[in-house]
């Protein structure tokens, strides 16, 4: 039997009017809170209390679907990537757009380094270009090409890996080492990048179309610290990579159905998956690779899943336009009293 945690009815967060392709949590902040941000095809990313799902605010300004949204570790900044050919950086306290970063095509991926109020942002998308923006230099920045790197000191951004990506960049993950970035691309390759050399230091070919690509929070549960595990959903396989060793596969788990999203809970050695062809969330035993429970409640494919930073709940974002919070611990927690 799995833990009793998932026998509780999930909390449903309404407010979006279109599919939710991505959601992500902040770390636990100084006030012992954590937050969740959701990207949505209704153009309006939302910020919520991560424990209760209570709406805090909506970031207004994008003119196209928002594909990915992330919070800085201290939840002071939010970043969003949109089909309006821009990425934006927001102040989460005021809702103000601090930076509008224009691109030449749809922005599918954004990532902050794991540090409080970061001053750099990575972006990627249909342009097939991985860009690093210096947020300390300009309130509204335009990208530059690798040929302009000679004037890098006065340039708000630069490109890494010119011509390497063979398709749309669907996700960017910043490793716990601030010099290491990971990209997941439609060419079915996961790539590890070193910002110092601006080149790849690892590459892995997956079997199918990439869904989610996320680094789990290693401090979940028991206060463990470490590099974490990179979890990738691809076709009918969930891949798990060592967070400290580029392209070092820990294991891959074959599924009976297509997997759109995956997230690992290192402390409990369980992982969750969302399906592309059904509406269910499944909990699996990481070691035995068997299904433990099925969570039902969504009315569309589950495109994004993620554990809270304390590991006591997980969130799911769906084609049905809702976010659900599912309890993953015994005893009372949050609104489960």
Which DSSP string do the residues of 28-79 spell out, in sequence order? --TTS--EEEEE-TTS--EEEETTT--EEEE----SS-EEEEEE-TTSSEEE
Measured CA distances, 157 to 79, 113, 138, 196 (Å):
16, 15, 10, 15
Q: How confident is the model at residue 337 (pLDDT cuts 50, 70, 90)?
A: confident
pLDDT at residue 113 is higher than 60: yes
Q: What are phi and psi of 51, to 5 degrees?
A: -85, -35
What is the four-CA torsion angle of 181, 185, 187, 190, rounded to 10 degrees? 40
Which DSSP string do the residues of 279-294 spell out, in sequence order? S-EEEEETTT--EEEE
Q: Where are the domains of the chain?
A: 4-327
Question: Cα–Cα distance between 236 and 243 in angstroms, integer?
Answer: 22
Task: Name the residue with tokens 């089909």.
Answer: 83
Q: What are phi and psi of 249, to 5 degrees?
A: -80, 125
Question: Cα–Cα distance between 30 and 34 in angstroms, integer?
Answer: 9
Question: Cα–Cα distance between 304 and 151 in angstroms, integer?
Answer: 39
Q: What is the pLDDT of residues 48-87, one digit of tens each?
A: 999 999 999 999 999 999 999 999 999 999 999 999 999 9
Q: What are phi and psi of 320, to 5 degrees?
A: -80, 0
pLDDT at residue 233 is higher than 50: yes
Which DSSP string do the residues of 152-201 spell out, in sequence order? GGG-SEEEESTTT--S-EEEEEE-SSTTEEEEEETTSEEEEEETTTTEEE
> Minimum mean pLDDT among 29-38, 127-136, 216-225: which range?
216-225
Bridge partners (DSSP) listed for residue 334: none
Question: Cα–Cα distance between 43 and 13 in angstroms, integer?
Answer: 17
Question: Cα–Cα distance between 113 and 187 in angstroms, integer?
Answer: 24
Phi-psi map region of 222: left, alpha, beta (phi>0 left; psi -120 to 50 alpha): alpha
Question: Cα–Cα distance between 28 and 121 in angstroms, integer?
Answer: 21
What is the four-CA torsion angle of 195, 197, 198, 199, rounded to 10 degrees? -120
DSSP 27: -
Residue 8 has a pLDDT of 77
Q: Which CATH number fits domain 4-327: 2.130.10.10, 3.30.720.110, 2.40.160.20, 3.30.360.10?
A: 2.130.10.10
Residue 16 has a pLDDT of 96
Q: What is the pLDDT of residues 154-209, one digit of tens each?
A: 337 889 999 999 999 999 999 888 999 999 999 999 999 999 999 999 999 999 99
């Amino acid at each position: 039997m799995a833990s009793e945690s998932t026998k509780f009815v999930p909390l449903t967060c309404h407010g979006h009017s279109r599919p939710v392709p991505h959601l992500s949590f902040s770390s636990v902040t100084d006030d012992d809170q954590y937050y969740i941000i959701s990207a949505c095809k209704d153009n309006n990313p939302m910020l919520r209390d991560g424990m209760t799902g209570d709406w805090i605010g909506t970031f207004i300004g994008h003119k196209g679907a928002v594909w990915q949204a992330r919070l800085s570790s201290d939840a002071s900044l939010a970043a969003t990537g949109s089909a309006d050919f821009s990425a934006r950086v927001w102040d989460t306290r005021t809702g103000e757009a601090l930076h509008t970063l224009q691109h030449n095509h749809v922005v599918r991926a954004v990532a902050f380094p794991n540090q409080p109020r970061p001053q750099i942002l990575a972006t990627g998308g249909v342009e097939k270009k991985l860009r690093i923006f210096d947020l300390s230099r300009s309130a509204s920045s335009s990208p530059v090409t690798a040929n302009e790197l000679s004037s890098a000191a006065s340039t708000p951004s630069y490109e890494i890996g010119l011509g390497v990506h063979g398709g749309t960049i669907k996700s960017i993950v910043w490793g716990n080492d601030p010099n290491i970035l990971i990209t997941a691309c439609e060419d079915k390759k996961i790539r590890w990048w070193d910002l110092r050399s601006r080149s790849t230091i690892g590459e892995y070919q997956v079997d199918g179309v990439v869904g989610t690509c996320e680094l789990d929070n290693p401090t979940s549960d028991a206060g463990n610290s470490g590099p974490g595990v990179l979890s990738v959903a691809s076709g009918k396989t969930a891949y798990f990579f060592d967070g400290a060793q580029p392209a070092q596969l820990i294991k891959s788990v074959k599924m009976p159905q297509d997997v759109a999203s995956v997230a690992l809970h290192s402390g409990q050695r369980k992982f969750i998956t969302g399906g592309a062809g059904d509406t269910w969330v499944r909990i699996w035993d990481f070691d035995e690779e068997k299904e433990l429970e099925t969570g039902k409640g969504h009315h569309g494919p589950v495109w994004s899943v993620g554990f809270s930073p304390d590991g006591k709940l997980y969130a799911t974002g769906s084609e049905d336009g809702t976010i659900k919070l599912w309890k993953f611990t015994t005893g009372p927690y949050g609104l489960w009293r």
